[in-house]
Structure 1
């Protein structure tokens, strides 16, 4: 009897254990496909989507909310029937899913349509899943519009009217609660919710960070930002039968669309590892992009993809590879760059995957700082590889955002909806008024103190003949040095921007030394005149030629620009910035001493003098040199430096025609991390001024980019930027040249001395980058780094054209083919990544 009872107990326990395993399996494999706002179900992409009003013991829908419907939609994504209904809400709405556990794809479908008195354009809501914030103050129409505008600006003609937000969430509570929380006074809506289990492991526990240690992914939630089928057509959700993912076409995200050629292979492809069967459908690995220009003489071209992302998050970048052509290793070796840093070198897909037609993926993690919203992925030639191995290949690309501090939501610095909670606007207003009044009082006290101090000093020096009304010698402001003839610094004297010891101000010249160098400021040695004063050619004691800038006491620039020039040049050193050798601050003189630039200003070689004109190649090299100098200014310091007076007279050429930026008297330190611009009075040169800066007094690095765009057109046309003697439509160079550029007829107004001596392709690309620089809004202009890439590429085109037209040089057939291929392609990729040597000049050499 006891034995029978034991068997009964054992059997009962076995049933309990088996039942638990069965339930666990059911929970793990259970999917939810919810058609919101209806009690009916629809079949979409081969799956049945159940209405959220259909009774289901595992789904609980809170109220209040409103079911809405619209007419049938035409939708190329096959989701049309799903988007004909939606659930609108003006108060908190919860969807509770029970009986699920493990890792899940959670996809939220949004397709705005008009319904009753509800205006979806004014929608703003948060979405939270099990306490994890997914989006904040979310406005669907604006995000769709932003996505479409980015796609069209990248070259895609397609646009969508729906949006899918995809997340990968670890669910450890056997329940998932998705909360929709409208901003006060606003509304929200949802069309469909998709919850799909992830049976196989998609990510490793630890992934290497670019240039740093590994990152632990355990327990972190993930948002899918981009998923691309590189080199192939769109892979729809019903073609990814395991996880129902959609893979976009990569074309619209390429920086230069024709930099990569599409290839395909219908051979049987298998995963390199049996554990990777869910990583991506094999369809993704059947197509790829390879480099279009592997035959160039200089291996400096990349395939690049550019993505907009949210700042201040870590991103997981997954690259999919499958060698489709070569059946032996070391035939395709390349580098991988992420955000302009090398993520991998000597990358050989064949060796890593284990052979041809083997699907393989590689993961990296990199952080995007608060300063940028851009993520670059680049594949380029391995510079150490032989000629046969200069190609690169990519089959697929995914970018995932990793949760941070329990959130995946990015909150804009300023609320785009204009809504606020409580009386915050009133509070901010009164705080601003109070701060303003306090600032005015403090400013008045400071100005009164400075006025009294300077007045006393002027009275002390009233017997000095050289003192002009309003003139304030630098030493009176406690700035730099005493007036001792031996050039020693005054003990404890402070420079306006820090201690003298911490800056590289160069040599302090005595006034007799300056007089000797300039033959007592002989006017025959004057090599330039500006708002600051005259510039003299001089020779200092050791025989070095220098440029000596002597301030004019009546100059409106005066003291502030003098101090700014010293402050900037004391902390800047770059091959493409004019170096300051020293200064003189004696007997009410303010003098700066620079390295001598033998070939003067860029403008003097373009027009207005009898100097020999520069060739097209020399003009390109001068533009590249100036761009390098400006790029260093914008990125070399923590907050960057904005030049604010970019023009051809401030681009100087040395004895070898190397271009350098000069004149930093108007320069400004860039905005702080939590600001987008510097608010300041408008200064600069008419004709070069950024119209956005002029209208709003908001100075940014893009203001320099605009001015540089005017310089580029000036280089092409060789005429003044403002010429009142010309017909009305030609007075302003920027407007006149842009008119011809938009007609793609820039060659019509090119400097006649260049006719027949330039590559039409290089002029075409040159005009395109100048046009981009002159965009009305700064956000639509490229960065100076991107301008530099374009110009280096333009120089490559010109040098290739010169090589093919130089009968004195002979090439092997492969070299000629490579050069012709480079010059003939409609669109090319930008030169090397920024972590390569930017001082090499991108030279292409015609080999004997």
Structure 2
């Protein structure tokens, strides 16, 4: 009888043991080294190759392995892990065997140098268990954006997600975009054993209620946007051994560091609820930010943090608190604001945590509209509280983005590290509600006037039989103000433009669609010489044999249409030898086509690097910079308010058959400020790497923003390398910062394009570097005008030509160093001094150059014509 009872009991024990063993096996972290068949140590942990047998995963399509061609950045904590990657040219799945529960998933990317593949241009989607994580994603753009928004120096990228899985399988799918590929360097699947890790949250509604609501994350995902430790000490992954999270310092996110100070106490901190010990490591609670004004009578300032986020998502904001100073409740009471709404009116950390040195966290849930791309967190004085000290304290912060309709992906405006456009953070006008409200009445009045003008224009257009379009979003060129007729085209009556104003007369030839199709071989793809959001640019030949560039807007997309219209407006008003000329247009059969002069030698960048083209000499590079500067100086001064280009870069400087430089692409250009204004307030646009940081921070555009971009171009001309290259060591990624450091050390010649060695004078390079550095001044008021930049460049060219003539004048040519020694007395602009020169023929030439510039030091070359200092 006893034996009969023991058998089922023993079987139960065996079954239970198997369950425990299986659970333990499935709850272990899964660390995958992608693109490898070996196991390696990295960052204090062991990573298993995705081709190693028994690694708890299956790979539907192996793609192929990739190894870094160049050495991986030594400063990377996981550098050894980033030497390999798995590359997919077709859709492929990683499938993991897991148990149901909560998981952190981390996907590692490092765009290293690889023969045959440009990882900087890779575009792909990532999906897991039906939840879209990334869409049309480019890793290099994300790295660039982080560097711009938070001064990040990381060359790698880790995307982290939290998932609650109800099945026993986790799959991660990589889908490359058309004509592209996907890649991944490493992955982590980390189980979160705390079942109440995300249990409830307080909804932010502005009323200040503090009753939490249940948070159901089953089959719903979250992306970690920020994880911050308040204070100057980041928490490293090895200090968080359970989940290996990285906590960065909050300093770069604080709106004003002067409003807060740091307090520290690491003696006896413990968790208020021991079951939540995995929420954050104790190191997060050992230091905190506290207000600087806790001793004053009037509390005027809040502690504020600003974070860039993706619009139209719901966000979970987790705040970590620990009272480090006070030993009783009602001694520190403050308000918590999230996105300018009261999230908690009278927060008392001591009371909520249950004592001093007790680690506690609070979760808040806020829904962000599609107009909001910034999350503000503010802690400050609660006027209704009777606390002894009404300052605030915060130890840590996490921000999570919640999925919406099975989607976590956000497709933002592109940041092309070479030629694309970056759309920066939106205006901060949401903080000016009072001003906006006061202007509502004026807007209503203005709207009524605009409606009346619109109806008037419609009546006029009916009488002129407008062109009809089969595309609702497409507006033919005639609606933007037709170009005036020439001998080859009939006159067109000018209707209202898109702003309800009468369009100005424009000059140019009106081409028929037959002429355009003939010139381009019916838009032969082999003749495409450029492309953009507007469509393609074709090389074409007119019937008279002239070559032209033909820009054809895409009628099926509005992307780039506003820029296309702006370019028409700009080029219709301006004519200059160093601006690309608009020849004419075509507006038949729902086409919007512009015809430009053809620039036979393409972009300046293509002659510096990236193409197998002949090297430009130092003189040719100087002349290209001078030509571009003349065109830009004319833009700034040619009209009453001037025009700010806003997208100066080497791909927008074109060279004709004689290597004459001309500025192009005016799609982002903006009319300058009025006489009684110092700037134009506008959303940030431009190309990453060339973008003026002051313009990005303040969203105030000035002509000095163009000067900054041109300064980057000058250094790019000297060094002949991309302005942003994430594959380089972190101190070399940004060309402007890297070259500026060498120039400040007086050693710019150390990083000059090697192909220029021995073909320039050190003195001309020195002066060139000085003006480039002045252009990159942090504040616009400290930068020169483009007219002054032009003057300096003309002077640099004269120095170089004098150096070259000295070889012909002297019987025994001097070395470059001897020439530099001989010319130490040469002047800078506005700092001319008499210097005795040795009586040699070569030095006499240099002295003549100096004397000539002394007589013209108060002049600035006129960019409106072809005159220059020579």
**TM-score, normalised by the number of residues in structure 2:** 0.50
Instruction: Please give the alpha-carbon distance, in whole angstroms, between the structure 2 residues aligned to 1:112 and 1:317.
Output: 31
SS in structure 2 at match of 1:37: coil
Instruction: Please give the alpha-carbon distance, in whole angstroms, between the structure 2 residues aligned to 1:3 and 1:357.
Output: 55
Instruction: Please give the alpha-carbon distance, in whole angstroms, between the structure 2 residues aligned to 1:86 and 1:407.
Output: 26
Match of 1:81 in 2: 80
Residue 201 of structure 2 corresponds to residue 207 of structure 1: yes
Match of 1:337 in 2: 337
Instruction: Please give the alpha-carbon distance, in whole angstroms, between the structure 1 residues aligned to 2:669 and 2:272.
Output: 53
Q: From 166, 169, 173, give the equivalent of 2:167.
A: 173
After superposition, the Cα gap between the structure-2 partners of 1:413 and 1:268, relative to the gap in structure 1 and judged at 3 Å, is same
SS in structure 2 at match of 1:55: coil
After superposition, the Cα gap between the structure-2 partners of 1:295 and 1:75, relative to the gap in structure 1 and judged at 3 Å, is farther
1:327-371 Cα distance to aligned partner (Å, 9 max, x none):
122222211111111111221211211221111111101122111
Match of 1:197 in 2: 191
Q: From 145, 155, 179, give the equivalent of 1:185.
A: 179
Instruction: Please give the alpha-carbon distance, in whole angstroms, between the structure 2 residues aligned to 1:304 and 1:129.
Output: 35
Residue 33 of structure 2 corresponds to residue 26 of structure 1: no
Instruction: Give the C-alpha shift of residue 389 in structure 1.
Output: 2.1
Match of 1:508 in 2: none
Residue 312 of structure 2 corresponds to residue 312 of structure 1: yes
Instruction: Please give the alpha-carbon distance, in whole angstroms, between the structure 1 residues aligned to 2:676 and 2:187.
Output: 49
Instruction: Give the C-alpha shift of residue 20 in structure 1.
Output: 3.2
- 8 Å contact kept, 1:305–1:378: yes
SS in structure 2 at match of 1:370: coil
SS in structure 2 at match of 1:63: coil
After superposition, the Cα gap between the structure-2 partners of 1:676 and 1:15, relative to the gap in structure 1 and judged at 3 Å, is farther
After superposition, the Cα gap between the structure-2 partners of 1:404 and 1:75, relative to the gap in structure 1 and judged at 3 Å, is farther
Instruction: Please give the alpha-carbon distance, in whole angstroms, between the structure 1 residues aligned to 2:37 and 2:668.
Output: 54
After superposition, the Cα gap between the structure-2 partners of 1:689 and 1:313, relative to the gap in structure 1 and judged at 3 Å, is farther
Match of 1:258 in 2: 258
Matches within 5 A, 1:329-478: 329-385=329-385, 388-412=388-412, 446-447=459-460
Matches within 5 A, 1:275-314: 275-295=275-295, 298-314=298-314
Matches within 5 A, 1:470-509: none
- 8 Å contact kept, 1:314–1:365: yes
- 8 Å contact kept, 1:336–1:344: yes
- 8 Å contact kept, 2:34–2:50: yes
1:782-822 Cα distance to aligned partner (Å, 9 max, x none):
xxxxxxxxxxxxxxxxxxxxxxxxxxxxxxxxxxxxxxxxx
After superposition, the Cα gap between the structure-2 partners of 1:49 and 1:130, relative to the gap in structure 1 and judged at 3 Å, is same
Instruction: Please give the alpha-carbon distance, in whole angstroms, between the structure 2 residues aligned to 1:284 and 1:406.
Output: 32
Instruction: Please give the alpha-carbon distance, in whole angstroms, between the structure 2 residues aligned to 1:254 and 1:55.
Output: 48
Instruction: Please give the alpha-carbon distance, in whole angstroms, between the structure 2 residues aligned to 1:42 and 1:289.
Output: 39
Instruction: Give the C-alpha shift of residue 408 in structure 1.
Output: 1.0
Match of 1:137 in 2: 136
Matches within 5 A, 1:16-95: 16-27=15-26, 29-56=27-54, 58-70=56-68, 71-95=70-94
SS in structure 2 at match of 1:328: coil
- 8 Å contact kept, 2:673–2:679: no
Instruction: Please give the alpha-carbon distance, in whole angstroms, between the structure 2 residues aligned to 1:99 and 1:736.
Output: 57
Instruction: Please give the alpha-carbon distance, in whole angstroms, between the structure 2 residues aligned to 1:775 and 1:198.
Output: 58
Instruction: Please give the alpha-carbon distance, in whole angstroms, between the structure 1 residues aligned to 2:370 and 2:562.
Output: 11
- 8 Å contact kept, 2:673–2:680: no
Instruction: Please give the alpha-carbon distance, in whole angstroms, between the structure 1 residues aligned to 2:279 and 2:138.
Output: 31
1:607-632 Cα distance to aligned partner (Å, 9 max, x none):
xxxxxxxxxxxxxxxxxxxxxxxxxx
Q: From 141, 153, 163, give the equivalent of 1:159.
A: 153
Match of 2:545 in 1: none
After superposition, the Cα gap between the structure-2 partners of 1:182 and 1:706, relative to the gap in structure 1 and judged at 3 Å, is farther
Instruction: Please give the alpha-carbon distance, in whole angstroms, between the structure 1 residues aligned to 2:674 and 2:33.
Output: 49
Instruction: Give the C-alpha shift of residue 44 in structure 1.
Output: 1.8
- 8 Å contact kept, 1:77–1:236: no
Match of 2:819 in 1: none
SS in structure 2 at match of 1:194: strand
Number of residues of Structure 1 aligned to a counterpart in Structure 2 = 488
Instruction: Give the C-alpha shift of residue 383 in structure 1.
Output: 2.6
- 8 Å contact kept, 2:562–2:667: no
Instruction: Give the C-alpha shift of residue 305 in structure 1.
Output: 1.0
Instruction: Give the C-alpha shift of residue 24 in structure 1.
Output: 3.2
SS in structure 1 at match of 2:268: coil
Match of 2:766 in 1: none
Instruction: Please give the alpha-carbon distance, in whole angstroms, between the structure 2 residues aligned to 1:357 and 1:320.
Output: 12
Instruction: Give the C-alpha shift of residue 264 in structure 1.
Output: 1.0
After superposition, the Cα gap between the structure-2 partners of 1:76 and 1:413, relative to the gap in structure 1 and judged at 3 Å, is closer
After superposition, the Cα gap between the structure-2 partners of 1:295 and 1:679, relative to the gap in structure 1 and judged at 3 Å, is farther
Instruction: Please give the alpha-carbon distance, in whole angstroms, between the structure 2 residues aligned to 1:111 and 1:139.
Output: 11
- 8 Å contact kept, 2:201–2:362: no
Instruction: Please give the alpha-carbon distance, in whole angstroms, between the structure 1 residues aligned to 2:408 and 2:288.
Output: 31
Instruction: Give the C-alpha shift of residue 99 in structure 1.
Output: 3.5
- 8 Å contact kept, 1:263–1:290: yes
Match of 2:533 in 1: none
Match of 1:845 in 2: none
Match of 1:567 in 2: none
Instruction: Please give the alpha-carbon distance, in whole angstroms, between the structure 2 residues aligned to 1:96 and 1:35.
Output: 15
| Structure 2 unmatched ranges of 5 or more | 421-454, 466-495, 502-557, 574-636, 648-664, 682-700, 709-776, 787-870
Instruction: Give the C-alpha shift of residue 15 in structure 1.
Output: 3.3
Instruction: Please give the alpha-carbon distance, in whole angstroms, between the structure 1 residues aligned to 2:55 and 2:73.
Output: 33
* Deviates most, 389-398 or 71-80: 71-80
Instruction: Give the C-alpha shift of residue 173 in structure 1.
Output: 1.8
After superposition, the Cα gap between the structure-2 partners of 1:775 and 1:258, relative to the gap in structure 1 and judged at 3 Å, is farther
Instruction: Please give the alpha-carbon distance, in whole angstroms, between the structure 2 residues aligned to 1:164 and 1:391.
Output: 36
Match of 1:110 in 2: 109
1:213-255 Cα distance to aligned partner (Å, 9 max, x none):
9463331211111000111312111110111111011111111
Please report the RMSD computed on the Cα atoms of aligned residues, expressed in angstroms. 4.7
SS in structure 1 at match of 2:47: strand
SS in structure 1 at match of 2:327: coil
Instruction: Please give the alpha-carbon distance, in whole angstroms, between the structure 2 residues aligned to 1:46 and 1:276.
Output: 25
After superposition, the Cα gap between the structure-2 partners of 1:703 and 1:218, relative to the gap in structure 1 and judged at 3 Å, is farther
- 8 Å contact kept, 2:645–2:666: yes
Instruction: Please give the alpha-carbon distance, in whole angstroms, between the structure 2 residues aligned to 1:313 and 1:705.
Output: 38
After superposition, the Cα gap between the structure-2 partners of 1:64 and 1:241, relative to the gap in structure 1 and judged at 3 Å, is closer
Match of 2:124 in 1: 125
Instruction: Give the C-alpha shift of residue 263 in structure 1.
Output: 1.6
Instruction: Please give the alpha-carbon distance, in whole angstroms, between the structure 1 residues aligned to 2:785 and 2:387.
Output: 40
- 8 Å contact kept, 2:265–2:324: yes
- 8 Å contact kept, 2:331–2:387: no
Instruction: Please give the alpha-carbon distance, in whole angstroms, between the structure 2 residues aligned to 1:46 and 1:394.
Output: 30
Instruction: Please give the alpha-carbon distance, in whole angstroms, between the structure 2 residues aligned to 1:705 and 1:159.
Output: 38
Of the two structures, which has the highest relative contact order with CA contacts closer than 8 Å and spacing of 6 or more? Answer: 1
